[in-house]
DNA sequence: TACTGTGAAATGGTTCACAGCT
DNA sequence: AGCTGTGAACCATTTCACAGTA
């Protein structure tokens, strides 16, 4: 029996769920009906054991001898991730990056809704991005409370980040995605994730300068390659012209 | 003796290096002369043992009984990260995100130089961002080769990402920072790091929906708090008015 | 005394390998 | 025959705890 919750879910597992979700979404749109852990692993750039172990934390979703039903598994993952509900988020700091995130496609379809944009600069307050008005920081706490905002995104300069985080925490926001290059100090019950563009560049540069110190990476494979490297027809980009849903590696049709 | 290279450096260690660097940069600008592993750990949001183990991979930089010399340690970390050299990078896909990254401060001071901007859209080709002209993708390989580009940044839509990655690899670019929501398939000697904004949001949402499954986080502390929680004077924002460089937790002056 | 550097122990995540199901 | 789910083995990283040094 799978470990039906109460248990801790490893962070690396949770990080991989959105990747599986994306692959399954694409497979589903191509009319693929079932997929094995090995194929899903190829497409996600991980290995098959990891896929199976990851999924086993949530339930028994596969069928021995066949694999996983794409649409069913997709539904389960979306349920776990809460992609079905709409979580309100705010972005604080509407510079170029804040603008870019506000306009990105990452919200719709991933279960998030832009509940507010905030900036301290009087010159941008009042502007609209995607139909959402930019408000002054003084409105932040009020909006977070009234809209029950779950996640706050910080895209301010580093010097302002801690102050904004304090406002968010005070307003009851329980999760923060921080793009500012600063370490935030928040109560331990608040979740924080840090996205640091220049740190990522530096990590790449480091391993480039010291190849002998580099970890060995697992090679990923495109969906098309995942299919062609295993027995089965090539993955067509025109979804299922034969009408029926297919397994990713069923026997060649018409032979 | 510290393990003087040849050895593998754990990825988590490399990821923390830029964080230490940033903290030390700030300490240095405040005129702080020395810092203990415990204080650096507080400011970086990690624990002291981790700081010491991380640094031990590179050399013996500390002084028992005293701690680390801020400027010396900063210099060593910058040397390890190669922050002293200027690495040329290109950005492919100059939408809102590409624009934002091109304009960001993350390049200068982190050891990177914008060597080229590329987009497939004829409408933006020819525009300038930060004095760098946007060129067509057909110029990509040529520029990468002639400028010896080390790192390629992909900020295209997901569908274009693999094709761009192929171009970069062909042109000899050995490291890719991928912002597109797609798993890239590249030769194993090419380093890839993936920054996925909406996946990060989903991870936060997941742990918010399942608090019982959440990992327990280590609480960080601001530089100011790091100092005040330990015996010593408050960290002043006006750098060293007493002229001399100070330890972060030296005894109270004038008592 | 106060701190670093580091073996050794503990933890946590990954991979193996196979029993069991379809 | 083929593939899942999962204990057990393995490996990497973190944390402990302390000998050694300024």
- At residue A177's C-alpha, the angle toward residues A76 and A120, to 5°, is 140
Burial of B252 (0-12, 13-18, 19+ CB in 10 A): exposed
End-to-end CA distance of chain A: 40
Extract the tokens encoding A19: 């990747």
Mean pLDDT of all residues in chain B? 89
In order, the DSSP letters of B21-86 are HHHHHHHHHTTEEEE-HHHHHHHHTS-HHHHHHHHHTT---EETTTEEEHHHHHHHHHHHHTTTS-
A14 touches strand C (CB under 7 A): no
Mean of the pLDDT values across residues B181-187?
Answer: 96
Q: What is the pLDDT of residues B106-156, one digit of tens each?
A: 787 789 999 999 999 999 999 999 999 999 999 999 999 999 999 999 999
In order, the DSSP letters of A68-116 are EEHHHHHHHHHHHHTTTS-EEEEEE--SHHHHHHHHSTTSTTTTEEEEE
- Which positions in chain B touch A42 (Cβ < 8 Å)? none
Chain B: closest CA distance from residue A15 (Å): 6
Task: With H, G, I as helix, E, B as strand and everything else as coil, classify residue A232.
Answer: coil
Mutate to test the interface with A, among B198, B217, B222, B235 (most CBs of A within 10 A): B198
Residue nearest to nucleotide D14 (CA to C1'): B50
- CB-defined contacts A:B, below 8 A: 237
Lowest mean pLDDT among A74-78, A188-192, B31-35, B238-242: B238-242
pLDDT of A110 = 86
Residue nearest to nucleotide D21 (CA to C1'): B64
pLDDT of A6 = 64
- Predicted confidence band of residue B229 (pLDDT cuts 50, 70, 90): low
Separation between Cα atoms, residue A15 and residue B193, nearest integer Å? 14
With b for 16 or more beta-carbon neighbours within 10 A and e for fewer, the B106-132 pattern comes to: bbeebbbebbbbbbbeeebbeeebeeb
Q: Give the torsion sign (CA, B182, A46, A204, A190).
A: positive
Q: Give the torsion sign (CA, B153, A220, A22, A189).
A: negative
Q: Which residue of A has its CA nearest to B45?
A: A183
Cβ distance B22 to A181 less than 8 Å, yes or no, reads yes
Extract the tokens encoding A248: 């990713």
pLDDT of A237 = 43
**Cross-strand bridge partners of residue A154:** A92, A178
The partner residue sitting opposite A206, judged by closest CB among B14, B45, B208, is: B14
pLDDT of B251 = 45
Give the residue with greater pLDDT, B140 vs B253: B140
Whether the CB of A151 is below 8 Å from some CB of chain B: the reply is yes
pLDDT of A251 = 43
CA B122 to centroid of chain Cα atoms = 33
B53 touches strand C (CB under 7 A): yes
Mean pLDDT of all residues in chain A? 88
Low-confidence ranges of chain A (pLDDT < 70): 1-6, 223-255
Task: With H, G, I as helix, E, B as strand and everything else as coil, classify residue A143.
Answer: helix
Separation between Cα atoms, residue A140 and residue A163, nearest integer Å? 12
A219 touches strand D (CB under 7 A): no
Domains, chain B, in order of start with CATH, read 11-82+218-243 (1.10.10.10), 87-204 (3.40.50.720)
**Which nucleotide lies closest to A48 by the C1' atom and the CA atom?**
C15
A38 touches strand D (CB under 7 A): yes
Query: B220 pLDDT exceeds 60?
Result: yes
Separation between Cα atoms, residue B105 and residue B130, nearest integer Å? 11
Query: B78 pLDDT exceeds 70?
Result: yes
Q: Strand D: which positions are within 7 A of a protein CB?
A: 1-7, 12-17, 20-22
- Which positions in chain B touch A39 (Cβ < 8 Å)? none
Q: Which residue of A has its CA nearest to B41?
A: A183
Whether the CB of A1 is below 8 Å from some CB of chain B: the reply is no
Whether the CB of B101 is below 8 Å from some CB of chain A: the reply is yes
The partner residue sitting opposite A177, judged by closest CB among B17, B82, B201, is: B201
Task: Say which DSSP state B237 is in.
Answer: S
| Touching A: B residues 53-72, CB under 8 Å | none
- Predicted confidence band of residue B253 (pLDDT cuts 50, 70, 90): very low
With b for 16 or more beta-carbon neighbours within 10 A and e for fewer, the A59-96 pattern comes to: bebbeeeebbbbeebbbbbbebbbbeeebbbbbbbbbb
């Amino acid at each position: 029996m799978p470990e039906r919750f109460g248990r801790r879910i490893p962070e690396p597992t949770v990080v991989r769920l959105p990747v599986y979700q994306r692959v399954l979404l694409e497979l589903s749109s191509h009319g693929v009906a079932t997929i094995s852990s090995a194929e899903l692993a190829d497409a996600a750039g991980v290995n098959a054991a990891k896929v199976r172990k990851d999924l086993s934390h949530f339930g028994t979703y596969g069928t021995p001898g066949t694999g996983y039903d794409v649409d069913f598994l997709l539904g389960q993952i979306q349920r776990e991730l809460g992609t079905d509900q709409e979580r309100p988020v705010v972005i604080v700091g509407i510079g170029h990056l804040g603008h870019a995130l506000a306009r990105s496609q990452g919200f719709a379809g991933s279960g998030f809704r832009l509940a507010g944009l905030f900036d301290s600069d009087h010159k941008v307050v009042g502007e609209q991005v995607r139909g959402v008005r930019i408000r002054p920081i003084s409105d932040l706490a009020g909006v977070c409370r009234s809209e029950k905002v779950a996640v706050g995104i910080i895209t301010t300069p580093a010097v302002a980040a801690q102050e904004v985080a304090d406002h968010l925490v005070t307003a009851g926001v329980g999760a923060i995605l921080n793009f500012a290059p600063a370490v935030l100090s928040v109560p331990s019950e608040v979740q924080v994730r840090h996205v640091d563009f220049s740190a990522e560049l530096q990590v790449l540069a480091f391993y480039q300068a010291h190849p002998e110190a580099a970890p060995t990476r697992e090679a990923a494979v495109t969906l098309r390659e995942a299919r062609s490297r295993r027995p089965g027809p090539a993955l067509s980009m025109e979804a299922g012209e034969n009408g029926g849903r297919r397994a990713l590696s069923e026997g060649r049709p018409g032979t």
